[in-house]
């Protein structure tokens, strides 16, 4: 299984049978190496409704008929746009053909601005625990530091975690280091930084401060074999 990072919060998980894309903000993302017209996911997982996370979901899913798994209100909205969706909510888990998904809390907001400039409320934001081929990947989405990171770490054997470090809108590096300590993941990758000037951070410096040998800052397009 190959897990790769593609700028902002875009993560791709390619297994022996499935192509899973998380928060596909591709068009308009200057740090992304993907082409929204060429990616072919079977599944799209969304953490929340902000445009820099929903990204190209509507166009990609209409083209590929990918299943979109998202928090309930966001899934309902995307279904109204003609997508094949599976709604979930915080604390819930579901076994899919491609793997098991569980949504965790995240402290943030969630609203999608459509092409007409209308803001659509998308419910509560979430993190994602994805268990596939015997490995567990944690994508924290956009969030502040919160004490339940300890519980997430205690209840799950996390092989790879993606944590936001951009600050201003999410945790900054200092808080993300605490989160990394609490979740006890075998490897930690920083996300949600350097896409815009307001969230510029040094990913390598963050990775160096994670428990020895546990942090890795991936450049867009780089991945990890699990």
Read off the tokens for 35.
């082409």
DSSP 94-139: EE-SS-EEEEEE--S--EEE-TTS-EEE----EEEEEEETTEEEEE
Average pLDDT, the chain: 97
Is the pLDDT reported for residue 211 higher than 90? Answer: no
pLDDT in tens, 29-46: 999 999 999 999 999 999
Q: Which of 120, 29, 1, 25 is nearest to 71 (CA)?
A: 120
pLDDT in tens, 70-125: 999 999 999 999 999 999 999 999 999 999 999 999 999 999 999 999 999 999 99
Query: How far, in Å, CA of 137 to CA of 118, rounded?
Result: 33
pLDDT in tens, 138-167: 999 999 999 999 999 999 999 999 999 999
Q: What is the rounded end-to-end Cα distance, in angstroms, of the chain?
A: 5
- CB-neighbour burial class of residue 134 (10 A; exposed 0-12, middle 13-18, buried 19+): exposed
pLDDT in tens, 188-201: 999 999 999 999 99
Report residue 10's pLDDT band, with 50, 70 and 90 as the boundaries: very high
CB 32 within 8 A of CB 25: yes
CB 76 within 8 A of CB 91: no
Query: How far, in Å, CA of 55 to CA of 6, rounded?
Result: 13
């Amino acid at each position: 299984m190959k897990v790769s990072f593609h700028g902002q919060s875009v993560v791709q998980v390619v297994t022996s049978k499935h192509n899973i894309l998380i928060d596909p903000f591709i068009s308009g993302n200057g740090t992304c190496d993907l082409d929204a017209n060429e990616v072919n996911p079977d599944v799209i997982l969304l953490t929340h409704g902000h445009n820099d996370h929903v990204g190209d979901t509507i166009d990609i899913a209409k083209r590929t008929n990918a299943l979109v798994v998202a928090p309930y209100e966001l899934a309902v909205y995307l279904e109204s746009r003609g997508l094949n969706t599976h709604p979930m909510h915080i604390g819930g888990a579901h076994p899919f053909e491609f793997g098991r998904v569980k949504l965790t809390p995240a402290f943030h907001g969630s609203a999608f601005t459509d092409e007409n400039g209308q803001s659509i409320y998308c419910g509560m934001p979430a993190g994602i625990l994805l268990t596939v081929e015997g490995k567990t990947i944690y994508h924290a989405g956009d969030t502040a530091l919160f004490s339940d990171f300890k519980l997430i770490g205690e209840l799950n054997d996390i092989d790879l975690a993606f944590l936001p470090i951009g600050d201003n809108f999410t945790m900054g590096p200092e808080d993300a280091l605490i989160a990394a300590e609490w979740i006890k993941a075998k490897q930690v990758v920083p996300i949600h930084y350097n896409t815009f000037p307001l969230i510029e951070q040094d990913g390598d410096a963050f990775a160096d401060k994670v428990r020895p040998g546990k942090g890795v800052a991936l450049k867009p397009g780089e991945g990890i074999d699990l």
